[in-house]
């Protein structure tokens, strides 16, 4: 009993000593929610790489304060994410959060973030309503919304590719629904028509049944997939004797999986707020750094986490490293303005969503490697595209049945 | 007309993949009474091993052999050192196989990173086979051929060989088979290795269609379970017919009733469990 008591007091003293030491150095504690196990682990690893790169670029210090990253593995499961967020904030004393990876994870901690008033920067979750109909005052996003890049793609398909009829095949979950709906809206507004929408389950074992159903009258196919599904779909597509050109969502041919693809991906036209092939000095420097450290091109997750961390830096500089006034820090986060980044110039709208340059990209082979060559850029695209925010927000959030196939 | 033919072929091809996966599962389940919940993980691990073999410059065909062999060795080790110690405790065995499945899944993320990977298909089988308006992937036709050959081979093994007779005796009545002098302790590792090998080789074979990714194991395992429950425990014919039924339901169901894809897939299982708990071709285990 006495031994236990001694043990307790020693631990307590050690803990106390640690606390005082850390107060003296005053590092800023950033809780980072990533995924290291399960189906989303690849994206999680790329996020960690992007974040590390940014921290290294700042030599672990922002606005004169040491940055201490506390990493938690959410396994990509919303229930675990909630627990990890609580651990990070209540046990580890995280003052800012970066993460989580998936939209349903972000939704799972939405209420908790509001209760604890913890600033959180999303490096990946794209669900529209997080910055639209249900904005969280403590939330900003460092990436585009689901439809943000696909509004321009719809217009491009109609106006410049002159497609009249398009069949959509998309993952049957919110991300796929939102991408498909955004694309359809602008495509049809410019005279095109979506003649078919096929929803394949997120964990569809194979795509043969869907490829066989594609309407022969379609001029092209818009394939909106997340995770590794793009690999499966494109791999099978040509083997079914299909010749129709393919348009892709940003994640269908994301650099994270493009490196695993072969000739089947050539010629796919997609849209995104990022491509590793964007030809600016800021991006070239970033891509070089990623290649040097990790031997691969950066994609969606790498650049998302990198930018989330740059957002943090930008906001910290505005408040000179002092985040004791959370409201002021939050205001700074929403006021982030980064003139040069891998994305190009980044500013936020009043909903906490970045206004981004959108690249129309085409998969080409260069130096023996596949890349998303930029063929056109739509500058400063808002999450509301060219619509008035008030009117945009009046219609329901994009879903499986909205916009409907007429 | 085209629709029915193409989706029929799709169903046949997917059913064929399911049979390759489920035959081993059914054999193990039938004889050893173990619901081997790591079977999906064996399938995934086999695909990864095959992929690494291909990366190392080996041909696709050799990669299938390597995948099968590697997983049968793993199966032998697990059977000898873990499952055998727990013999007679079915619940403990099931839980252990579930634990092994988790370990394999995380080991795969660790070794092969979490990147989804396509398994390159052999060049000679790429492309589409065309008849008039119809186009169907040659590789899938090949998979259908493999499944039917495998079914015939396994049937011959079980129905016509001495080993098969011993296995059938064990499936029907384990204690009586023992009493008759059949050394089931020797039979178990043989069947477990064979089942594991089928899972491993099947993973490589399915690779060009399914690709390999973390989660492949948990996507496939429920399908194997459905097939075996539908067809009947330990029945090869049951696994074969069950696979084809599920394959057809999968392709026609997803095309005709896309909103009900999963209901349709699991509905027959519920019906069979209610109306004929031993499955379509299963016999009452004693």
Question: Running DSSP on this structure, what letter comes out for residue A295?
Answer: S
Please provide the DSSP assignment of A181-206 as one string. Answer: HHHHHHHHHTT-EEEEEEEE-TT-S-
Q: Whole-angstrom Cα distance, residue B63 to residue B45?
A: 13
Name which of A339, A379, A342 is nearest A359 in CA terms. A379
> pLDDT class for A354, splitting at 50, 70, 90?
very high
What pLDDT shows up at residue A103?
A: 87
Task: Say if B235 falls within a structural domain.
Answer: yes
- B204 Cβ under 8 Å from any chain A Cβ: no
Cross-chain CB nearest to B209 (options A236, A238, A261): A236
Residue of B10, B113, B140 to mutate, testing the A interface (most A Cβ within 10 Å of its Cβ): B10
Cross-chain CB nearest to A209 (options B114, B118, B254): B254
Kindly list the residues from chain A whose CB atom is less than 8 angstroms away from the CB atom of residue B136: 240-241
CATH architecture group of domain A150-278+357-394:
3-Layer(aba) Sandwich (3.40)
- B4 Cβ under 8 Å from any chain A Cβ: no
Kindly list the residues from chain B whose CB atom is less than 8 angstroms away from the CB atom of residue A239: 126-128, 137-140
Q: Are A359 and A377 in contact (CB under 8 A)?
A: yes
Q: Are A185 and A156 in contact (CB under 8 A)?
A: no
What pLDDT shows up at residue A17?
A: 46
Contact: A206, B6; criterion CB under 8 Å: no
Percentage of the residues of chain B whose pLDDT score is greater than 90: 66
- B92 Cβ under 8 Å from any chain A Cβ: no
The position carrying tokens 């990366």 is B55
Kindly list the residues from chain B whose CB atom is less than 8 angstroms away from the CB atom of residue A36: 109
The burial class, CB within 10 Å (0-12 / 13-18 / 19+), for B59 is: exposed
Cross-chain CB nearest to B10 (options A44, A209, A239): A209
Contact: A41, B210; criterion CB under 8 Å: no
> pLDDT class for B33, splitting at 50, 70, 90?
confident
* Residue A28 DSSP SS3: strand
> pLDDT class for B88, splitting at 50, 70, 90?
confident
Q: Into how many domains does chain B fold?
A: 1
> pLDDT class for B284, splitting at 50, 70, 90?
low
Contact: B127, A238; criterion CB under 8 Å: yes
Q: Whole-angstrom Cα distance, residue A206 to residue B136?
A: 14
Q: What is the pLDDT of residues B190-199, one digit of tens each?
A: 999 999 999 9
Q: What is the pLDDT of residues A246-272, one digit of tens each?
A: 999 999 999 999 999 999 999 999 999
- Measured over the CA atoms of residue B234, residue B237, residue B239 and residue B245, the dihedral's sign is negative
**DSSP bridge partners of A29:** A68
Q: Whole-angstrom Cα distance, residue B112 to residue B52?
A: 9
Q: Give the dihedral of Cα atoms B161, B166, B167, B171; nearest 10 deg.
A: 140
What pLDDT shows up at residue A406?
A: 67
What pLDDT shows up at residue A143?
A: 96
Asked whether residue B271 carries a pLDDT value surpassing 90, the answer given is no
Q: Whole-angstrom Cα distance, residue B243 to residue B220?
A: 12
Q: Pick the more confident residue, B96 or A23.
A: B96
Residue of B211, B223, B264 to mutate, testing the A interface (most A Cβ within 10 Å of its Cβ): B211
Helix, strand, coil shares, percent, chain A, to 5: 40, 20, 35
In CATH, the number for domain A2-146+281-356 is 3.40.50.2300
Q: Which residues of A91-110 are buried (b: 16+ CB within 10 A; e: fewer)?
A: eeebbbbbbbbbbbbbbbbb
- A40 Cβ under 8 Å from any chain B Cβ: yes
Instruction: Residue window 163-202, chain A: list those with CB within 8 Å of chain B.
Output: 198-201
Contact: A198, B258; criterion CB under 8 Å: yes
Kindly list the residues from chain B whose CB atom is less than 8 angstroms away from the CB atom of residue A43: 114
Residue of B118, B129, B134, B250 to mutate, testing the A interface (most A Cβ within 10 Å of its Cβ): B118
* Residue B83 distance to chain A (closest CA, Å): 26
Asked whether residue A7 carries a pLDDT value surpassing 70, the answer given is no
Q: Whole-angstrom Cα distance, residue B200 to residue B104?
A: 13
Contact: A208, B109; criterion CB under 8 Å: no
Q: Which of A12-21, A48-57, A346-355, B242-251 has the lowest mean pLDDT?
A: A12-21
SS (H, E, C) A317-382: HHCCCCCCCHHHHHHHHHCCEECCCCCCCEEECCCCCEEEEEEEEEEEEECCEEEEEEEEEEEEEC
Cross-chain CB nearest to A212 (options B10, B127, B211): B10
Residues for chain B: how many in total?
286
Q: Whole-angstrom Cα distance, residue B27 to residue B17?
A: 16
Kindly list the residues from chain A whose CB atom is less than 8 angstroms away from the CB atom of residue B247: none
Contact: B128, A239; criterion CB under 8 Å: yes
Contact: A228, B116; criterion CB under 8 Å: yes
What mean pLDDT, rounded, does chain A reach?
91
* Residue B256 distance to chain A (closest CA, Å): 10
* Residue A257 distance to chain B (closest CA, Å): 7
Contact: B210, A262; criterion CB under 8 Å: no
Please provide the DSSP assignment of A138-183 as one string. Answer: TEEESS--TTTTHHHHHHHHHHTS---EEEEEEESSHHHHHHHHHH
Q: What is the pLDDT of residues A147-172, one digit of tens each?
A: 999 999 999 999 999 999 999 999 98
Q: Are A128 and A135 in contact (CB under 8 A)?
A: no
Strand (E) or helix (H) holding A209: helix A208-211
What pLDDT shows up at residue B57?
A: 95
Cross-chain CB nearest to A235 (options B211, B213, B255): B211
Residue of A168, A213, A234, A297 to mutate, testing the B interface (most B Cβ within 10 Å of its Cβ): A213
* Residue B215 distance to chain A (closest CA, Å): 5
Q: What are the residue ranges of CATH 3.40.50.2300 in chain A?
A: 2-146+281-356, 150-278+357-394
Q: What is the mean pLDDT of residues B241-246?
A: 94
Q: Are B202 and B17 in contact (CB under 8 A)?
A: yes
- B181 Cβ under 8 Å from any chain A Cβ: no
- B128 Cβ under 8 Å from any chain A Cβ: yes
What pLDDT shows up at residue A21?
A: 42
Task: Say if B202 falls within a structural domain.
Answer: yes
Task: Considering only CA atoms, give the Rg of chain B.
Answer: 19
Kindly list the residues from chain A whose CB atom is less than 8 angstroms away from the CB atom of residue B211: 228, 231-232, 235
Kindly list the residues from chain B whose CB atom is less than 8 angstroms away from the CB atom of residue A39: 114, 213-215
Q: What is the pLDDT of residues A10-57, one digit of tens each?
A: 445 454 444 444 444 589 999 999 998 877 888 999 999 999 999 999
Instruction: Residue window 222-241, chain A: list those with CB within 8 Å of chain B.
Output: 227-228, 231-232, 235-236, 238-241
Q: What is the pTM of this model?
A: 0.89
- B107 Cβ under 8 Å from any chain A Cβ: no
- B123 Cβ under 8 Å from any chain A Cβ: no
* Complex ipTM: 0.88
Q: Whole-angstrom Cα distance, residue A93 to residue A70?
A: 10
> pLDDT class for B101, splitting at 50, 70, 90?
very high
Task: Say if B281 falls within a structural domain.
Answer: no
CB atoms within 10 A of CB B60: 20
- A257 Cβ under 8 Å from any chain B Cβ: yes
Contact: A209, B214; criterion CB under 8 Å: no
Domain hosting residue B21, numbered range: 6-114+121-275
Q: What is the mean pLDDT of residues B152-166?
A: 93
Kindly list the residues from chain B whose CB atom is less than 8 angstroms away from the CB atom of residue A260: 115-118
Pairs of residues, one from chain A and one from chain B, whose beta carbons lie less than 8 Å apart: 111
Tokens encoding A251 = 């994640």
Residue of B214, B226, B263, B265 to mutate, testing the A interface (most A Cβ within 10 Å of its Cβ): B214
Q: What is the mean pLDDT of residues B52-66?
A: 97
Q: Are B203 and B45 in contact (CB under 8 A)?
A: yes
Cross-chain CB nearest to A42 (options B13, B113, B258): B113
Q: Which of A44-53, B180-189, B254-263 has the lowest mean pLDDT?
A: B254-263
Which CATH number fits the domain that encloses residue B20? 1.10.3470
> pLDDT class for A203, splitting at 50, 70, 90?
confident
Name which of B247, B125, B133, B14 is nearest A239 in CA terms. B125
* Residue A321 distance to chain B (closest CA, Å): 36
């Amino acid at each position: 009993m006495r031994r236990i008591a001694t043990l307790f007091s020693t631990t307590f003293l050690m803990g106390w000593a640690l606390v005082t030491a850390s107060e003296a150095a005053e590092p800023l504690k950033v809780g980072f929610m990533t995924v290291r196990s399960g189906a989303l682990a690849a994206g999680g690893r790329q996020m960690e790489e992007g974040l590390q790169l940014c921290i290294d670029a700042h030599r672990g210090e922002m606005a004169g304060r040491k940055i201490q990253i506390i990493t938690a593995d959410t396994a990509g499961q919303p229930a675990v994410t909630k627990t990890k967020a609580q651990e990070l904030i209540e046990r580890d004393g995280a003052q800012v959060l970066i993460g989580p990876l998936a939209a349903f994870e972000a939704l799972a901690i939405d209420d908790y973030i509001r209760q604890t008033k913890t600033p959180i920067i999303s490096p990946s979750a794209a669900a529209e309503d997080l910055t639209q109909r249900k904005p969280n005052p403590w939330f900003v996003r460092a990436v585009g919304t689901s439809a943000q890049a696909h509004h321009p793609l719809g217009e491009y398909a109609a106006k410049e590719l002159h497609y009249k009829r398009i069949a959509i095949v998309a993952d049957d979950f919110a991300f796929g629904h939102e991408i498909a709906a955004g694309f359809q809206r602008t495509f049809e507004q410019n005279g095109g028509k979506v003649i078919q929408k096929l929803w394949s389950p997120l964990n569809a074992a194979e795509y043969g049944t869907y490829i066989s159903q594609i309407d022969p009258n379609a001029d092209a196919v818009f394939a909106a997939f997340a995770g590794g599904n793009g690999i499966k779909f494109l791999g099978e597509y040509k083997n079914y004797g299909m010749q129709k050109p393919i348009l892709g969502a940003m994640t269908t041919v994301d650099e994270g999986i493009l490196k695993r693809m072969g000739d089947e991906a050539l010629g796919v036209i997609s849209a995104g707020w990022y491509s590793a092939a964007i030809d600016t000095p800021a991006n070239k420097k970033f891509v070089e750094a990623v290649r040097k450290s990790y031997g691969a091109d950066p994609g969606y997750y790498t650049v998302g986490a990198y930018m989330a961390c740059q957002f943090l830096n930008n906001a910290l500089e505005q408040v000179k490293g002092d985040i004791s006034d959370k409201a002021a820090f939050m205001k700074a986060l929403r006021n982030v303005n980064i003139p040069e980044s891998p994305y190009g110039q980044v500013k936020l709208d009043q909903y906490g969503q970045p206004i981004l340059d959108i690249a129309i990209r085409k998969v080409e082979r260069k130096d023996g490697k596949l890349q998303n060559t930029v063929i056109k850029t739509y500058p400063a695209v808002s999450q509301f595209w060219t619509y008035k925010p008030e009117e945009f927000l009046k219609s329901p959030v994009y879903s499986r049945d909205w916009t409907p196939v007429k | 007309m085209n629709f029915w033919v193409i989706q029929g072929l799709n169903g046949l091809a997917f059913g064929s993949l399911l049979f390759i996966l489920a035959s081993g599962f059914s054999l193990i389940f039938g004889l050893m009474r173990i619901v081997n919940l790591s079977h999906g993980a064996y399938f995934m691990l086999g695909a990864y091993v095959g992929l690494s073999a291909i990366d190392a410059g080996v041909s696709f065909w050799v990669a299938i052999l390597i995948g099968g062999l590697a997983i049968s060795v793993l199966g032998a080790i697990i059977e000898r050192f873990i499952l055998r110690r727990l013999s007679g405790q079915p619940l403990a065995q099931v839980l252990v196989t579930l634990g092994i499945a988790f370990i394999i899944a995380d080991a795969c993320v660790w070794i092969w990173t979490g990147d989804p990977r396509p398994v390159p298909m052999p060049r000679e089988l790429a492309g589409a086979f065309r008849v008039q308006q119809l186009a169907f992937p040659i590789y899938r036709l090949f998979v259908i051929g493999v499944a039917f050959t495998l079914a015939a081979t396994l049937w011959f093994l079980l129905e016509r060989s001495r080993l098969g007779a011993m296995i059938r005796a064990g499936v029907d009545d384990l204690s009586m088979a023992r009493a008759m002098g059949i050394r089931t302790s020797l039979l178990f590792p043989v069947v477990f290795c064979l089942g594991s090998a089928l899972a491993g080789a099947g993973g490589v074979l399915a690779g060009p269609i399914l690709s390999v990714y973390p989660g492949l194991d948990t996507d496939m395992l429920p399908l194997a379970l459905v097939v075996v429950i539908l067809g009947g425990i330990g029945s090869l014919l049951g696994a074969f017919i069950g696979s084809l039924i599920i394959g057809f339901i999968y392709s026609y169901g997803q095309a005709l009733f896309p909103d009900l894809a999963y209901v349709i897939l699991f509905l027959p299982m519920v019906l069979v469990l209610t109306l004929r708990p031993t499955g379509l071709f299963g016999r009452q285990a004693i």
